[in-house]
């Protein structure tokens, strides 16, 4: 369905603790209560009369205004909103048609007193198909799930629309772009490091990702063989650090690694200026860290200032 989405959002709870969610999802509906309001007023709303009934039934309690505002959102052009809720570990959303349908059998444990028919059926995926898992959503969005009433206007409704439509937050996008520019700048600096500084940088990266050097196997040539251990994973890895290398050089170290597979869990081959494209075997646990990957790790691990200081 390609029609444009509404530009406002309402959160809705399909019954107490989502008791009508199963029917709402299965039937493509939004299920509501308010069985104290006559059915004819839900189908043909008279809002002053609805408010009078709510105050008569509930008295002067503060929740009357909240109930009235919720019913106005539900009955007065609900098609102008995107409707969202949280169920089954996800954010779900839909759009609806105007006009309420009163449950002919009356409110029950399975179904609400009335419902709205969905135009776009309930979905827990964005327009482009991304799963809207609660664990992946911003806290400003998920806090709406703690709302005690039935309907509200989410505080960060713009983020809800952005997420559904796969749009990026402008400030987050700007930050990501700036980070990309910085990573490229760091990559250029890394390529200028001396072999000793590059070796030390790889040591720092390994240490910050849980690997501790346990021995050095050789120091007589540019680039050194290193053993590192990750105590948490109970693994020992074989690390080769090079300023430059060809595919033949990589292949040579792959063969050395294969001969010690009984001892080494994995191999890391770090080279900031490879000669041509390097390709490790896909069937072996070998990580290839070329300049761009090293630069990404430098930025993510907070080592940018250290790298900059090598050329200061």
For the segment 95-126, what is each residue's pLDDT rounded down to a tens digit?
A: 999 999 999 999 999 999 999 999 999 999 99
Per-residue pLDDT, averaged over 31-50, amounts to 95
CATH number at residue 262: 3.40.1350.10
Looking at the fold, whether 203 and 157 belong to one and the same domain comes out as no
Last residue of a domain, one of 99, 134, 167: 167
Looking at the fold, whether 16 and 126 belong to one and the same domain comes out as yes
The rounded Cα 99 to chain-centroid distance in angstroms is 35
Residue 221 above 70 pLDDT? no
CATH number at residue 79: 3.10.590
Residue 262 lies in a domain: yes
Beta strand residue intervals within the chain, DSSP E: 9-12, 29-32, 82-87, 90-102, 114-123, 151-152, 212-216, 225-230, 235-245, 266-274, 286-289
- Total tally of structural domains belonging to the chain: 2
**Counting beta carbons within 10 angstroms of the beta carbon of residue 19, is it exposed (0 to 12), middle (13 to 18) or buried (19 or more)?**
middle
pLDDT for the residue 169: 78
Residue 236 lies in a domain: yes
Q: How far apart are CA 264 and CA 33, in angstroms?
A: 63
Residue 117 lies in a domain: yes
Looking at the fold, whether 162 and 187 belong to one and the same domain comes out as no
Q: How far apart are CA 72 and CA 75, in angstroms?
A: 5
pLDDT for the residue 223: 47
Looking at the fold, whether 184 and 279 belong to one and the same domain comes out as yes
Q: Would the pTM of this model clear 0.75, i.e. be above it?
A: no
Which of 84, 56, 245 is CA-nearest to residue 163?
84
Looking at the fold, whether 153 and 219 belong to one and the same domain comes out as no
Residue 2 lies in a domain: no
- Domain with 304, as residue range(s), is 172-310
pLDDT for the residue 166: 93
Looking at the fold, whether 185 and 285 belong to one and the same domain comes out as yes
Residue 251 lies in a domain: yes
Q: How far apart are CA 98 and CA 272, in angstroms?
A: 61
Summarised one tens digit per residue, pLDDT across range 80-95 is 999 999 999 999 999 9
pLDDT > 90: percent of the chain: 84
Looking at the fold, whether 159 and 176 belong to one and the same domain comes out as no
> Which segment of 1-15, 174-188, 211-225, 230-244 scores lowest on mean pLDDT?
211-225
Please report which confidence band the pLDDT of residue 254 belongs to, taking 50, 70 and 90 as the band edges. Answer: very high
Looking at the fold, whether 216 and 130 belong to one and the same domain comes out as no
Which residues are paired to 241 by β-bridges? 270
Looking at the fold, whether 154 and 177 belong to one and the same domain comes out as no
pLDDT for the residue 58: 77
Residue 140 lies in a domain: yes
Last residue of a domain, one of 143, 167, 191: 167
Looking at the fold, whether 191 and 157 belong to one and the same domain comes out as no
Residue 1 lies in a domain: no
Looking at the fold, whether 158 and 187 belong to one and the same domain comes out as no
Mean of the per-residue pLDDT values of the chain: 92
pLDDT: is 221 or 90 the higher one? 90
Looking at the fold, whether 153 and 203 belong to one and the same domain comes out as no
Residue 196 lies in a domain: yes
Last residue of a domain, one of 118, 138, 167: 167
């Amino acid at each position: 369905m390609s029609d444009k989405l509404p530009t406002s959002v309402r959160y809705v709870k399909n019954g107490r603790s989502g008791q009508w969610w199963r029917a709402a999802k299965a039937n493509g509906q939004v299920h509501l209560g308010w069985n104290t309001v006559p059915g004819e007023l839900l189908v043909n709303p008279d809002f002053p009369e609805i408010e009078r009934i709510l105050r008569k039934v509930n008295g002067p309690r503060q929740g009357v205004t909240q109930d009235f505002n919720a019913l106005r959102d539900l009955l007065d052009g609900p098609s102008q909103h995107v409707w969202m809720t949280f169920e089954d570990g996800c954010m779900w959303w839909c759009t609806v048609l105007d006009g309420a349908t009163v449950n002919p059998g009356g409110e029950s444990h399975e179904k609400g007193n009335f419902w709205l028919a969905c135009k776009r059926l309930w979905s827990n995926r964005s327009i482009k198909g991304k799963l809207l898992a609660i664990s992946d959503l911003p806290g400003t969005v998920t806090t709406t799930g703690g709302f005690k009433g039935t309907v509200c206007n989410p505080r960060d409704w713009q983020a809800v629309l952005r997420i559904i439509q796969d749009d990026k937050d402008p400030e987050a996008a700007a930050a990501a772009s700036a980070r990309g520019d910085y990573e490229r700048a760091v990559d250029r600096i890394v390529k200028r490091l001396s072999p000793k500084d590059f070796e030390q940088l790889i040591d720092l990266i390994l240490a910050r990702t849980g690997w501790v050097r346990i021995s050095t196997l050789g120091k007589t040539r540019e680039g050194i063989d290193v053993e590192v251990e990750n105590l948490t994973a109970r693994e020992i890895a074989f690390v080769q650090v090079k300023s430059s290398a060809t595919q033949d050089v990589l292949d040579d170290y792959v063969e050395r690694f294969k001969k010690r597979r009984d001892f080494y869990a994995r191999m890391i081959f770090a080279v900031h200026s490879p000669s041509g494209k390097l390709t490790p075997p896909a069937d072996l646990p070998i990580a290839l860290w070329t300049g761009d990957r090293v630069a990404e790790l430098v930025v993510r691990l907070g080592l940018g200032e250290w790298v900059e200081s090598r050329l200061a």
